[in-house]
């Protein structure tokens, strides 16, 4: 028989509260919290974290020393992070790692490990890593909101790349991802309950609107330091935005590379379909404990229409509009709604039922 909540012993380490230090436990006891079917989330500096990731945040914030040549990728979870990690790694390292080779790092290593996350890879488990051996430019990723980034990131000349995705697609991807993480003895995580919490801002690193708008506003204030990208734009015009990304990271394509088709080769190597079909991404686990395959589902634009009702889509859109007005977002706004809702659409009940039967 399935249980409503799993005992700690059945949870992966990265979802357990009893793995953190006593100091972190003491802080957790003072923070607002929300229980979900999978874990307890704690609100710290205005955003929601699970215990182990928050411990990584607490280590990362004072100890990470950004260098001027660093490049940080920032996203909310399930916004296309793995794809952009692959693109950024390949762009920066294309001189040393020829793209058309069988031993390219992407063939043997998941992009998540090639561009490590600050708070739950490098600074997790109460560790402070020595990053001096990392070659310049160092590539890191984070899900931290802009206001919670380490002080050294704000004070240095390091670059920030932010990838934004339609929150409706993000929610559907998050729901699938959460169900992949759940122990087998736990009932499937309720879709409607998770949606309700998401609309309240209770999700990994949520509220999503504050996360997106924090980086968007910084991209307007400081475009030399901050590049704001949209997942939907990159899917629609990948060559254009790959060139933008390369230019921003100070590794633009040469005329020779353009002639030789290097842009298209990078897009082919880093395509969602190619990455998903690599053996390394079908089996095994990351250093953080996640299964490699958990990061590859569909990667499509507008998949939310197969799961959300028109009313649910409208509800999210109304939340977004209200937040944009409150933050004074005007003409140059982040496209938080790249896919217009279709009033005649119906969610794909077969897909939902199939997921419920797993």
> What is the per-residue pLDDT across 234-265, written as a single tens digit (0 to 9) for each?
999 999 999 999 999 999 999 999 999 999 99
The half-sphere exposure of 167 on its side-chain side, counting CA atoms within 13 A, is 29
**pLDDT band, very low/low/confident/very high, at 66 (cuts 50, 70, 90):** very high
| Ordered structural domains, the chain, with CATH | 10-166+205-298 (3.40.50.300)
Catalytic center residues: 143
Q: What is the pLDDT of residue 184?
A: 75
42 phi/psi in degrees, rounded to 5: -120, 140
Highest mean pLDDT among 38-47, 122-131, 290-299: 38-47
Mean pLDDT of 53-60: 95
pLDDT > 80? residue 10: no
Q: What is the pLDDT of residue 179?
A: 84
Residues 6+ apart with CB under 8 A from 344: 310
pLDDT > 70? residue 174: yes
**pLDDT band, very low/low/confident/very high, at 348 (cuts 50, 70, 90):** very low
Q: Report the share of the chain in percent with pLDDT over 90.
A: 61
Q: Residue 277 burial by CB count (10 A; 0-12/13-18/19+): exposed, middle or buried?
A: exposed
Least confident of 111-115, 219-223, 257-261, 338-342: 338-342
**pLDDT band, very low/low/confident/very high, at 180 (cuts 50, 70, 90):** confident
Q: What is the pLDDT of residue 274?
A: 87
CB of 66 within 8 A of CB of 58? no
pLDDT > 50? residue 119: yes
Mean pLDDT of 204-222: 95
pLDDT > 70? residue 333: no
Q: What is the pLDDT of residue 209?
A: 93
Highest mean pLDDT among 17-26, 35-44, 237-246, 342-351: 237-246
Which 3-state string (H, E, C) describes the chain?
CCECCCCHHHCCHHHCCCCCCHHHHHHHCCCCEEECCCCEEEEECCEEECHHHHHHHHHHHHHCCCCCCCEEEEECCCCCHHHHHHHHHHHHHCCCCCCCCCCCHHHHCCHHHHCCEHHHHHCCCCCCCCCCCCCCCCEEEECCCHHHCCHHHHHCCCEEEEEECCHHHHHHHHHHHHHHHCCCCECCCCHHHHHHHHHCCCCCCCCHHHHHHHHHHHHHHCCCCEEEEEHHHHHHCHHHHHHHHHHHCCCCCCHHHHHCCHHHHHHHHCCHHHHHHCHHHCCCECCCCCEHHHHCCCCCCCHHHHCCCHHHHHHHHHHHHHHHHHCCCCCCCCCCCCCCCCCCCCCCHHHHHHHHHC
Residue in this structure with the two tokens 């254009």, named with its chain if needed: 240
Q: What is the pLDDT of residue 189?
A: 85
**pLDDT band, very low/low/confident/very high, at 80 (cuts 50, 70, 90):** very high
Highest mean pLDDT among 90-104, 106-120, 226-240, 272-286: 226-240
Q: Which of 139, 171, 200 is nearest to 305 (CA)?
A: 171
Q: What is the pLDDT of residue 51?
A: 93
164 phi/psi in degrees, rounded to 5: -105, 140
The average confidence (pLDDT) of the chain is: 85
């Amino acid at each position: 028989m399935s249980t409503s909540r799993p005992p700690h012993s059945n949870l992966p380490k990265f979802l357990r509260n009893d793995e953190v230090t006593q100091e972190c436990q003491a802080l957790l006891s003072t923070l607002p919290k929300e229980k979900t079917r999978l874990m307890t989330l704690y609100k710290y500096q205005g955003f929601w974290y699970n215990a182990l990731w928050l411990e990584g945040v607490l280590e990362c914030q004072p100890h990470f020393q950004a260098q001027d040549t660093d490049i940080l990728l920032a996203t909310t979870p399930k916004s296309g992070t793995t794809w952009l990690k692959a693109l950024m790694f390949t762009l920066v390292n294309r001189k040393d790692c020829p793209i058309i080779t069988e031993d390219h790092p992407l063939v043997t290593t998941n992009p998540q490990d090639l561009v490590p996350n600050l708070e739950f890879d490098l600074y997790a488990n109460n560790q402070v890593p020595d990053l001096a051996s990392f070659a310049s430019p160092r590539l890191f990723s984070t899900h931290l909101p802009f206001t919670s980034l380490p002080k050294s990131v704000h004070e240095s000349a390091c670059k920030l790349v932010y990838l934004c995705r339609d929150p409706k697609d993000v929610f559907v991807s998050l729901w699938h991802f959460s169900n992949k993480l759940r122990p087998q003895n736990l009932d499937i995580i309720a879709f409607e309950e998770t949606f309700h919490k998401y609309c309240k801002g209770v999700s990994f690193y949520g509220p999503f609107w504050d996360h997106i708008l924090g980086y968007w506003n910084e991209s307007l204030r400081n475009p030399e330091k901050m590049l704001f990208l949209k997942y939907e734009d990159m899917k629609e015009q990948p060559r254009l935005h790959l060139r933008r990304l390369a230019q921003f990271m100070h590794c633009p394509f040469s005329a020779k590379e353009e002639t030789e088709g290097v842009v298209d080769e990078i897009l082919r190597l880093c395509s969602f379909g190619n990455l998903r079909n690599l053996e390394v991404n079908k089996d095994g686990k990351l250093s953080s404990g996640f299964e490699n395959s958990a990061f590859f589902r569909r990667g499509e634009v507008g998949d939310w229409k197969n799961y959300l009702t028109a009313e649910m889509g409208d509800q999210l859109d109304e939340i977004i509009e209200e937040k944009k007005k409150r933050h004074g977002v005007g003409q140059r706004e982040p496209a938080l709604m790249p896919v217009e809702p279709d009033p005649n659409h119906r969610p794909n009940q077969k897909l939902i039922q199939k997921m419920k039967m797993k």
